[in-house]
Amino acid sequence: MAVQPIRPFTDPVLRTVSEPVTTFDRALRVLVKSLQATMRAGRGRAGLAAPQIGVPLRVVVYELDGKSGHLVNPRLELSERKIVADEACLSAPGRWWPLERSYMVTARGRDMFGKPATVRALGVLARVLQHEADHLDGILFVDHLPEEERERFLASIS
């Protein structure tokens, strides 16, 4: 499967709300495999959303600590417990920033064949799922930062 280039943080496609997947066909399976290959092509990559390779569909892949998979049309249920930890984005490589996220997530969606899928995650994997789901809504992690921090981050990638 071909590794795709990852769109940079400033690419307008990352600000587009992705369309729900309605057809679970061969093209979707090719997309999932391409996302997985692209995610695995670099060190330290734990998740990737379809918009990051320029495809505005609601598909994410993840792989962390031996747990890997994908979700199509994910919906997240977030715990009230929050934790602050450094977060990064493959669209802004090498930049880490502290960000508060829910510590636990239940993500429900479908697999590439249309079968229901549920992922329960804690800690870093929960953070990865929240980060990738944000991409599907045109939200970048910098949007969660206070204005002054956001300005500092954006200045660091300019």
- CA atoms of 49 and 145, how far apart (whole Å): 20
Q: How do residues 67-103 score in pLDDT, each as one tens digit?
A: 999 999 999 999 999 999 999 999 988 888 899 999 9
Model confidence, pTM: 0.94
Percent of the chain at pLDDT above 70? 99
Q: Judge whether 80 counts as a catalytic residue.
A: no
The larger pLDDT score, comparing residue 24 to residue 152, is at 24
pLDDT computed for residue 72 by the predictor = 98
Instruction: Please report the sign of the dihedral spanned by the C-alpha atoms of residue 128, residue 130, residue 132, residue 138.
Output: negative
Mean pLDDT of all residues belonging to the chain: 94
What the block records as the tokens of 110 is: 């479908």
The pLDDT score that the predictor gives to residue 153 is 81
Which secondary structure element, helix H or strand E, spans residue 32, and what is its range?
Answer: helix 26-40
Give the containing element (helix H, strand E) for 85.
strand 82-89
d(CA 87, CA 83): 12
Question: Rounded distance, CA 78 to CA 72, Å?
Answer: 18
Query: Could you say which of 132, 148, 149, 151 is catalytic?
Result: 132
> What's the whole-number mean pLDDT along residues 47-72?
96
